[in-house]
Amino acid sequence: MSMTDKAKKFRDSEWADTARTVAYAVLIALVIRALLFQPFNIPSGSMIPTLMIGDYLFVSKYSYGYSKHSLPFSLPLFEGRVLANQPERGDVIVFKKPTDNQTDFIKRLIGLPGDEIQMRRGVLHINGQPVQRERIEDFIETRPGGSIRRYPQYRETLPNGVSYVTLDTDPDGYLDNTGAYKVPAGHFFMMGDNRDNSNDSRVPAEVGYVPFENLVGRAEVLFFSTDGSARIWEPWKWFSATRWDRIFSGIN
């Protein structure tokens, strides 16, 4: 075998090794994404103040078991859930919007199967009982140009002890008074913490009751957050735009 042939064979071997390494890396990434953790970012303010626009978080895919929506592109390889674990009231959950089974939404689980959920004058009621609600300091929003807006915040505590903060931007919002929703078997009732600015289970035409199969995973931890003031081509602004106090914080 000539030196040229040997060199060609060596280059071919290197290319084959590189291709195998890339293939293994892609396969490992897909397995992690499908079975363990998946990153998401927050594009809207429906979960303020718990989650802010520009937050990046990891969702645990194993928390509730696996459905077709655990797979990339929701591949219909099987029906229902395997290794299923029931979610708990108060969990912050990513799910596929039931009205299209494609769009990722993130909300808080408020109602379990069989619960009756209702909003009365801005107060959440579960099975006819008002949820404990405590007024706390205002949420302060700094708008472009430097103007400041203040909104009332409340700390809610669910019957199982889970506590979190909600935002009330409109004391007479149309979602502050609703009929009673009876959560059907195998479904859950989801609500945003920004109560007056959230399309959630209170809006049947948009979301409605969420089937167990549609749950993607539980929000666990923030790994990055930016206030949006720096563009990708403005690296000199990246440091000041980062919300350093939110990085690696848990989601409650």
61 is known as an active-site residue: no
Comparison of pLDDT for 238 and 209, the residue scoring more: 209
Q: Give the type of residue at 227.
A: D
- 160 and 114, same domain (yes or no): yes
Q: What span, in angstroms and rounded, lies between the C-alpha atoms of 78 and 71?
A: 10
Q: List strands edge to edge, sheet with 132-142.
A: 132-142, 148-157, 163-167
Selecting among 67, 70, 107, 201, the annotated active-site residue is 107
Angle at Cα 157 formed by Cα 188 and Cα 164, nearest 5°? Answer: 85
What average pLDDT does the structure give for the chain?
89
Residue 252 resides in a domain: no
What value does the mean pLDDT take over residues 184-193?
98
Does residue 46 carry a catalytic annotation? yes
**Residue 54 domain-assigned?**
yes
Using one digit for the tens of pLDDT, what is the confidence trace for 4-52?
A: 655 555 455 666 566 666 655 555 555 555 567 899 999 999 999 999 9
CA distances from 193 to 10, 124, 196 (A): 60, 11, 9
What length is written for the chain? 252
User: Which of 46, 70, 201, 225 is the catalytic position?
Assistant: 46
Same domain, 132 and 31: no
Residues 120 and 143 in one domain: yes
